[in-house]
Amino acid sequence: MMPLAILLGVVTFAGGLVWAERRLLALWQDRYGPNRVGPFGLLQVVADAIKLLTKEDWVPPFADRALFVLAPALVMVTALLSFAVVPVAPGIGVVGSNVGLLFFLAMTSMGAWGVVLAGWASNSKYSLLGGLRSAAQLLTYEAFMGLSLCGVVILAGSFDLREIVLAQRRVWFVVPQIVGCLTFLVAGLAAIHRLPFDLPEAEAELVAGYHSEYSGMKFAMFFVAEYVGITLISALSAVLFFGGWLGPVLPPIVWFFLKTSFFVGFFILLRAALPRPRFDQLMAFGWKVMLPVSLANLLVTGAIVLS
Amino acid sequence: MIGLVGTLWTVFRHALRKRATVQYPEEKAYLAPRTRGRIVLTRDPSGEERCVACYLCAVACPVGCIALQATEDEHGRRLPAFFRINFSRCIFCGYCEEACPTYAIQLVPDFEMGEHRRQSLVYEKEDLLIDGPGKHPGYDFWRVAGVAIRGKDKGEAEREAPPTDPRSLLP
């Protein structure tokens, strides 16, 4: 029952996020956003889902059919699978793996693979450029994403996300690991292709990037996977650096929800406020700034823990 | 870094600003008096149709949505037998209004013309004609231009001023 509940919860949250993002973006752009369908426009998601479900399921004749169909499923599945290791509250979670963090990192990389495949299988120049950027972006952020989390692992002494939460009883890891937290947020943004690092999509330059050729439910899979990804990175930021379910008075699951929602709102604010960097700027920023910074953070953390 | 936080803060404060959106069906945006919307045919102060069926509007129309047929009444005055505007083609450019020598055809501030059937957007003369003179009250083309009918040339009737000779204005 628990996996199903988590699955439904995550997908519902991601669906609500579609609405919440549009409303929040509108709020910060002096607009109202969708407010017509149902109370406060909440049923807009349902209307969108009906529209996407009833669209023709079309594969372009020039596409590599098998990979074209596989790619959105891959993106979606990896995004959802990552949630298997996220500890929502004591007793709520799918599995308590002792390599949970590694599993998360592996699944994020697999998700990027799906994006690259989508760009390749579409057999269109814009999609290919999007996929190409995704591959380069993957190499950039993977390098410092793992390193930024090493500090947390050293402090907690475990890869188990549950253990990591419990290790934050005294002080949240954001205090000793502020640098790690910032680098992880940047890496997370790049990992889920979220603005300002949505270079694989880059609708201002590449039509719609890797999913230019997708429509209907296959497009919806990419779409939902993106929002599941936002939820995932937000949940992991809360778990790794902000004490997960730990908090006074309110029940643990509420704390987890509040912390996750805070990061979701922060990511949406980033989208509303920041412009997209150029491709080479992102690469240079990743390799020349973030990688040395996270390495230094790891070095200092290790030195302090050992001494 | 400071700039980044400043940007985020500026955008965040926009949450408290007044909304720019006009929630259309409930509240309506202000339309300027000269907004180019639905096309009407006006009448002169005496209540007669101003249109003299000169076809200039139909010629000026870039999308060719105006169709009309000229005819004459018993005094020899030109009138449109039918006057038809296909609003599903009309782009509301206002060229017809500019071309019109008698101020007959005018665009008014109304754009709410949605219909379920395309054919309902084809307006006939009865649909286009309004009762008043529109934007040019008091203007009567025939009083300015004079009118020649069978048995009477311009300016020959009782209490009728001779027509203005535009060439007399030349230096």
Is B26 a residue whose pLDDT tops 80? yes
Distance in Å, alpha carbon of A276 to nearest chain B alpha carbon: 13
Interface test with chain B among A22, A23, A25, A28, by most B beta carbons within 10 Å: A28
Burial of B104 by CB count in 10 Å (0-12 exposed, 13-18 middle, 19+ buried)?
A: buried
B71 backbone dihedrals φ, ψ, rounded to 5°: -150, 175
Q: Is A274 on the interface with B (CB under 8 A)?
A: yes
Q: CA nearest A218: which of A69, A86, A110? A: A69
Closest listed residue to residue A259, CA positions, set A245, A272, A249: A245
List residues of B whose CB lies inside 8 A of any A CB.
4, 7-8, 10-12, 14-15, 17-21, 23
| pLDDT higher than 90, residue B83 | yes
Q: Side-chain half-sphere of A263: how many Cα atoms within 13 Å?
A: 29
- B100: closest CA among B73, B143, B47, B136? B136
Question: Would you state the structure tokens that stand for residue A141, as one six-digit string?
Answer: 């952020």
Mention every residue, 6+ apart, whose C-beta is less than 8 A from residue A268.
Answer: A20, A21, A24, A25
pLDDT at B63: 94
Tens-of-pLDDT digits for all 307 residues of chain A?
778 888 888 888 888 888 888 888 888 888 888 888 878 888 888 888 888 888 888 888 888 888 888 888 888 888 888 888 888 877 777 777 788 888 888 888 888 888 888 888 888 888 888 888 888 888 888 888 888 888 888 888 888 888 888 888 888 888 788 888 888 888 888 888 887 888 777 777 888 778 888 888 888 888 888 888 888 889 888 888 888 788 788 888 888 888 889 999 999 988 888 888 888 888 888 888 888 988 998 898 888 888 8
CB contact A275 to B (< 8 Å): no
Residue ranges of A 141-180 with Cβ closer than 8 A to chain B: none
Q: What is the CA radius of gyration of chain A?
A: 19
Which residues on chain B are in Cβ contact (under 8 Å) with A22?
none
Q: Which value, to the nearest 10 degrees, does the dihedral of the CA atoms of residues B52, B54, B58, B62 take? A: -120
Confidence of residue B150 (pLDDT cuts 50, 70, 90): confident
Give pLDDT, residue B70: 92
ipTM greater than 0.85: no
CA gap A166, A158 in Å, rounded:
11
pLDDT band at residue B87 using 50, 70 and 90 as cut-offs: very high
Hey, which bits of A171-260 come out as E strands? none
In terms of Cα–Cα distance, which of A119, A133, A146 is closest to A64? Answer: A119
Q: Is the pLDDT of residue B98 over 80?
A: yes
The tokens of A184 are what? 């992880």
**In the numeric block, which tokens belong to residue A73?**
């499923």
Among B14, B17, B18, B26, which would you mutate to test the A interface (most chain A Cβ atoms within 10 Å of its Cβ)? B14
Neighbour tally for A80: CB within 10 Å: 20
Cα A222 → chain centroid = 12
Are residues A30 and B20, on separate chains, in Cβ contact within 8 Å?
A: yes
Q: Do A27 and B15 touch (CB under 8 A)?
A: yes
Tokens, residue A28: 């910060």
Nearest chain A alpha carbon to B4: A274
- The fraction of chain B above a pLDDT of 70, given in percent, is 98
Domain ranges of chain A: 57-306
Task: Please list every residue in chain B whose beta carbon sits closer than 8 Å to the beta carbon of residue A29.
Answer: 14
Distance from CA of B111 to the nearest CA of A (A): 22
CB contact (8 A) between residue A28 and residue B21:
no
Q: What is the tens place of the pLDDT at every residue in B30-46?
A: 899 889 999 999 998 88
Residue of A nearest to B10 (CA): A273
pLDDT at A49: 85
What is the set of domains in chain B, with CATH numbers? 22-134 (3.30.70.3270)
pLDDT above 90 (res B156): no
Cβ-based neighbours of A112, under 8 Å, separated by 6 or more: A134, A135, A137, A138, A191
pTM higher than 0.80 for the full model? no
- The Cα–Cα gap between A132 and A134 comes to 5
First to last CA, chain A: 46
Torsion over CA: B161, B163, B164, B167 (sign): negative
Q: For A252-272, give the DSSP string.
A: HHHHHHHHHHHHHHHHHHHHH
pLDDT at B74 over 80: yes
Using an 8 Å CB-CB cutoff, list chain A residues near B4: 274
CB contact under 8 A, B8 and A29: no
- Mean residue pLDDT of chain B comes to 87
Question: What is the count of residue pairs from A and B with beta carbons less than 8 Å apart?
Answer: 32
pLDDT of residue B106: 92
Q: What is the pLDDT of residue B118?
A: 92
Alpha-helical (H) ranges within B46-110 are 56-60, 95-99
Best of B7, B9, B23 to disrupt the A interface (most A CBs within 10 Å) is: B7
Distances (CA, A) of A197 to A86, A206, A259, A280, B46: 24, 14, 23, 12, 69
Nearest CB to A269 within list B12, B19, B20: B12
Tens of pLDDT, residues B115-129: 999 999 999 999 999
Kind and range of the H or E element at A98? Answer: none
